[in-house]
Amino acid sequence: MLSITALSDTNKSRSNCSQRMDKITTIKGFKDILPDETGKWQYIEENARRIFACFGFSEIRTPILERTELFKRSIGESTDIVEKEMYTFTDRGDESLTLRPEATASVIRAYIEHALYAKDNIAKLYTIGPMFRRERPQKGRYRQFHQINAEALGIEDPRIDAELILMLTHFLDQVGLSEVALEINSLGCIRCRSDFKKSIVTFLKGKEKDLCEDCRRRITTNPLRVFDCKVQTCAEIIKDAPGLLDFICTECSDHFEKVKDSLQLFNIPFRINPKMVRGLDYYTKTAFEVTTNLLGAQNAIAGGGRYDALVKHLGGPDVAGIGFAIGFERLLALVSMKDKQFSDVPQLFIAALGEAAQKKAFVFCNRLKLKGIPSEMDYTGKSLKSQMKRADKLESLYVLILGDKEIAENSAELRNMRKSTQETVELDRIEEIVIRKIQEG
């Protein structure tokens, strides 16, 4: 047992301690999603799950931490993501690990590791979760952000490219976002891209001095990446560069034509942007991006494309693939949630006055919860007025007013908060009456 002096010493040191303690806050570019926001997140997620399931997609969840090698090999060593943005560290076992900067690589790793291709030659997978990139934080750009990803594996047919874009635009429309622009391009296959690379190198010859240091290096390592350089002078130069579409082979060109035809079948408007290359090395053939002019600088909501060589490149079979990623935070910033009720309000609030009433209320309130009826009560024994205030704040549909006097009389007052009506109900039948009333609305 503590003596009184020891106790007061403890209190003293506790108060000294609390004076010295600094608040610990989130890391720059990371943010909390607070309870009054999570309803919106759930609303978007529910829509994604419902719509993607209609298109035959199943959920996959992969770890957020992977071997660094996975991202280097898939996204590409000379991309901005791998060169500058990954959260990479050596763990206590001396292994280089990375917080995933995107989901496709992890999904494909899991697809290969668990031989999902052996169970079905077609796999349609989606995943929702956090990604990590150490970019410069600004409005709409975070270091931890969330994506909704969908990947279709095992289908070469160009109709699946259009179907995936249809699923994406339909989903955006269903959550209330129809003012978007779709841009598409074909990045060709490995073979036709090599001619394109040569022509870019020729184009950039003599312009080296006006390029940033990274792009000068990229001329030899990965000339395509000059297209997504964010430095103004590089962007100006690349405007006049040849476009990919002039270099794609007949097979890639046919594929692209069929994608366009299929999009037209669903009246999906699109613009061809021959300069869009996307920031990841694994894309082949179709690439697409959904943008909006409502977001300012960070105008991309979603992006994706085909990656027919990636599965093999990561050690799997020769299986075609296509996918997209939607930026969750950017989508949330755009979707109007005005008319939607997100948090579950209690159906019943019990205002209990007196010891016997509190005891009765405690049992009754929890019995209702066990029956799936959201209920709340007051635990402080405050006045009826302040309990009613709390019921109002919680937007409870009904309030049950229970006092020791009512208990003695086997009755309680049931108040309909929307209609401002009140009636006396029999306490013995309270559960049955309340449930009926709530069901009647």
Chain positions contacting ligand AMP, by CB under 6 A: 102, 133, 135, 141-142, 145, 147, 279, 300-303, 325, 327, 329-330
With contact defined as beta carbons under 8 Å apart, do 331 and 140 qualify? no
Q: How many CA atoms lie within 13 A of 285 on its CB side?
A: 27
Query: What minimum distance in Å lies between the beta carbon of 287 and ligand AMP?
Result: 10
Which residue, 71 or 145, has its beta carbon nearer to ligand AMP?
145
| Rounded to 5°, angle at Cα 280 from 274 and 284 | 55
Query: What minimum distance in Å lies between the beta carbon of 77 and ligand AMP?
Result: 17
The structure tokens 């013995």 sit at 428
Alpha-carbon gap, residue 380 to 393, rounded angstroms:
16
Query: What minimum distance in Å lies between the beta carbon of 129 and ligand AMP?
Result: 12
| Rounded to 5°, angle at Cα 273 from 272 and 274 | 110
With contact defined as beta carbons under 8 Å apart, do 302 and 168 qualify? yes
Beta strands in 232-320 (DSSP E): 271-272, 284-291, 300-306
Coil, helix or strand at residue 234: helix
Q: Please name which of 438, 440, 441 lies closest in space to residue 371, comparing C-alpha atoms.
A: 438
Query: What minimum distance in Å lies between the beta carbon of 375 and ligand AMP?
Result: 39
The structure tokens 């697809």 sit at 111
Query: What minimum distance in Å lies between the beta carbon of 151 and ligand AMP?
Result: 12
Alpha-carbon gap, residue 360 to 227, rounded angstroms:
70
Which residue, 77 or 409, has its beta carbon nearer to ligand AMP?
77
Query: What minimum distance in Å lies between the beta carbon of 213 and ligand AMP?
Result: 23
Query: What minimum distance in Å lies between the beta carbon of 345 and ligand AMP?
Result: 32
Query: What minimum distance in Å lies between the beta carbon of 329 and ligand AMP?
Result: 5
Which residue, 309 or 333, has its beta carbon nearer to ligand AMP?
333
Which residue, 196 or 288, has its beta carbon nearer to ligand AMP?
288
Alpha-carbon gap, residue 111 to 118, rounded angstroms:
10
Alpha-carbon gap, residue 292 to 285, rounded angstroms:
24
Which residue, 2 or 27, has its beta carbon nearer to ligand AMP?
27
Which residue, 71 or 349, has its beta carbon nearer to ligand AMP?
71
Query: What minimum distance in Å lies between the beta carbon of 63 and ligand AMP?
Result: 18
Query: What minimum distance in Å lies between the beta carbon of 377 and ligand AMP?
Result: 41
Give how far Cα 49 sits from Cα of 5, 56, 63, 74, Å: 60, 10, 20, 27
Beta strands in 101-213 (DSSP E): 123-132, 144-153, 181-186
Which residue, 102 or 376, has its beta carbon nearer to ligand AMP?
102
Which residue, 31 or 313, has its beta carbon nearer to ligand AMP?
31
Angle between helices 213-221 and 190-204 (to 10 degrees): 140
Q: Please name which of 328, 275, 268 lies closest in space to residue 301, comparing C-alpha atoms.
A: 328
- The residue number whose beta carbon is nearest to ligand AMP equals 327
Which residue, 144 or 358, has its beta carbon nearer to ligand AMP?
144
Which residue, 249 or 300, has its beta carbon nearer to ligand AMP?
300
